[in-house]
Every structure is written in structure tokens, then in C-alpha cells.
């Protein structure tokens, strides 16, 4: 009898936790979407502006959007090393230059119209400690990973605001929440991307009265792309599970097709990563130390392996 009563309490507690999680999820969804109901998705009405679409996560997003009948414009400094689908156009553009962006924007509007969805995906990463990083690499990291978001918004956001319609997607990182040795500039730039996303939402609501412009941010953990080649070449020391770009693309497309704002942490079991800053220091520091030691081990092996090219 006592066993049955204990089991019942466990079941009730579990159901209660599920109910709380459901309420939490739905309330968060309503709040970030400003309690607005989105219009139905029609692929033919959309034009996606995607930065960094010539490889990695960006390429997968481009291919999936194209497959679903969405027109895509890629902005990248590198030519795609593959044939583009018919509904995808590439413009070689320096997204860290307002002049380059302005010139490209003129072509885009003339040939395709105004973008309705903007995906800030382009990103760079340079290995090295704070003292080892060159000024050139530091500036490139922040210019591409953070400053470009502002420049692109200055060029394309006014049209979204005037129509009170559209979507801005920011590809950030788990690094938005935790700083790791030898990745300090990258972590800073991704924390900045999170602040950009949060601030953009506030300005859309209160400064520009455009609550129907959706904003989403994605925080992937390690993804199998050329960006982390220096780590994956030494998987023995690295030892971290890798996601495919497909996982990230699926999450992005789900929010775009649902016209839904949100914050997405991948993989999903790391959903509490955003809470790390609220942990007591004695819990935060072991997390940072664990990740930093992984990077340090890989860095040591990489420095002694003359075969590695980055």
C-alpha cells in the first residue's frame, strides 16, 4: 500500500512538472511573439537574405530553403564551390563594409525586390589566446560576427518596419553564454550577437511600432563545419559530439515557416545553457574550466602537429 502511494506521488509530481514546462513554453512563445498571430506562410511571397551561404550551416539553410521553393540571396566574400539552385542568387559582398552592402542592396532591390527574411549567419573563428591573437584577426571576428548585423539592419530593416512584417534570424552559439580560453574574442562576439538580438526586439516593439517583425536566435553547440576544423582534426583530444548543419537548418526553417520568434539552443538537451549566468560562481567556473581544458589539450596537440593547416 505504501509502495502504491509513493508511486502515485511520483506520477503526480512528474505530471506537474510536465504541465509547468508546457505553460512555461507556451507563455514564452506568446511573449516573444508579442501575443500576435502570424499570417500563413506562402513561400512565393518571401525573399531570404542569407549571409555566409557559401558553406557550412549557411549552405545547408540555403539548400533547404531552395528545396521548399523559397528564393534566396546569398551574401558572402567567397564564391560558392558548387552549382546554385535556380531560385538562389549569389552576390560577392563584404558584409563588414557599409559601402559594399549599399551597392549590393541596390542590385538586390532592382532584380529581386526587398528581402522579407534576413538570416545573419556569417561567422569567423581564429585560434589563439588573447596575447596570441593579431589585431587583424580580432577586428575581423567582431566585424563579421557582430558589426555586420548592425550594418545589414541599417540597410534592410527599414522596409520590414514599414510593412510591419518579416523575420530576422541571428545565428549565435552556445558561446553566447560561456567564455572559453583561446576562444575569448569569439565568445565575446557571440555574446554581442545575443545582446543585438534582444535589443533589436525591444526597438521593434517600442521604437518602431513593428511588433509583427519576428526575431529568432539560434545557439548551436559544436557543429561539423570548416569553422572548427582545427578541433575536429584531433577528435581524440576534442572528444565532443558534433551536430550536422542539418540540425541547425531544421530549427531555423521551423521558426521561419511558422513565422515564430524564439530562442533556440541546440542540441535541445542543453536548453538550460542560457541559465549558466544565473548559477553561483562555484558552479559556473567548473563549466568554463571543463571546456577550456578541452580547447587547451587540442591546442597543445595542434601546435606539435605540423600536418595541421588552418
Which one of 3, 186, 208, 229 is the catalytic residue? 186
Distance of CA 129 to the CA centre of its chain: 24
190 is catalytic: yes
Q: Note whether 219 and 274 are within 8 A (CB).
A: yes
Which one of 9, 21, 26, 190 is the catalytic residue? 190
186 is catalytic: yes
Residue 47 Ramachandran class (φ > 0 left, ψ -120 to 50 alpha, else beta): beta
How far, in Å, CA of 73 to CA of 82, rounded?
Answer: 15
Q: At what angle do helices 184-202 and 148-163 cross, to 10 degrees?
A: 20
DSSP for 203-247, written as a single string: IIIIIS--TTEEEEEEEE-SBSSGGGHHHHTTHHHH----B-HHH
> Exposed (0-12), middle (13-18) or buried (19+): which is 282, by Cβ within 10 Å?
exposed
Catalytic residues: 186, 190
Amino acid at each position: 500500500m505504501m509502495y502504491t502511494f509513493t508511486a502515485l506521488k511520483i506520477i503526480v509530481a512528474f505530471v506537474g512538472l510536465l504541465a509547468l514546462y508546457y505553460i512555461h513554453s507556451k507563455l514564452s512563445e506568446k511573449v516573444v511573439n508579442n501575443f500576435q498571430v502570424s499570417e500563413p506562410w506562402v513561400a512565393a511571397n518571401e525573399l531570404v537574405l542569407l549571409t555566409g551561404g557559401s558553406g557550412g550551416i549557411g549552405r545547408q539553410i540555403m539548400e533547404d530553403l531552395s528545396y521548399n521553393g523559397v528564393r534566396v540571396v546569398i551574401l558572402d566574400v567567397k564564391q560558392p564551390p558548387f552549382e546554385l539552385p535556380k531560385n538562389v542568387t549569389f552576390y560577392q559582398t563584404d558584409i563588414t563594409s557599409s559601402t559594399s552592402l549599399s551597392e549590393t542592396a541596390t542590385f538586390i532591390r532592382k532584380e529581386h525586390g526587398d528581402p522579407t527574411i534576413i538570416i545573419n549567419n556569417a561567422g569567423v573563428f581564429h585560434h589563439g589566446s588573447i596575447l596570441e591573437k593579431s589585431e587583424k584577426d580580432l577586428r575581423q571576428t567582431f566585424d563579421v560576427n557582430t558589426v555586420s548585423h548592425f550594418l545589414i539592419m541599417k540597410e534592410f530593416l527599414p522596409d520590414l518596419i514599414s510593412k510591419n512584417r518579416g523575420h530576422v534570424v541571428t545565428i549565435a552559439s552556445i558561446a553566447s553564454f560561456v567564455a572559453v580560453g583561446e576562444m575569448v574574442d569569439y565568445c565575446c562576439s557571440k555574446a554581442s550577437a545575443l545582446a543585438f538580438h534582444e535589443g533589436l526586439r525591444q526597438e521593434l516593439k517600442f521604437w518602431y511600432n513593428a511588433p509583427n517583425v519576428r526575431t529568432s536566435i539560434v545557439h548551436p553547440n559544436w557543429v561539423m563545419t570548416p569553422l572548427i576544423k582545427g578541433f575536429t582534426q584531433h577528435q581524440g583530444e576534442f572528444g565532443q559530439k558534433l551536430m550536422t548543419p542539418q540540425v541547425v537548418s531544421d530549427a531555423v526553417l521551423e521558426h521561419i515557416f511558422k513565422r515564430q520568434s524564439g530562442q533556440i539552443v541546440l542540441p535541445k538537451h542543453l536548453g538550460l545553457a542560457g541559465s549558466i549566468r544565473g548559477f553561483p560562481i562555484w558552479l559556473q567556473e567548473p563549466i568554463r574550466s571543463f571546456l577550456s581544458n578541452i580547447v587547451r589539450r587540442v591546442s597543445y596537440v595542434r601546435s606539435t602537429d605540423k600536418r595541421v593547416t588552418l
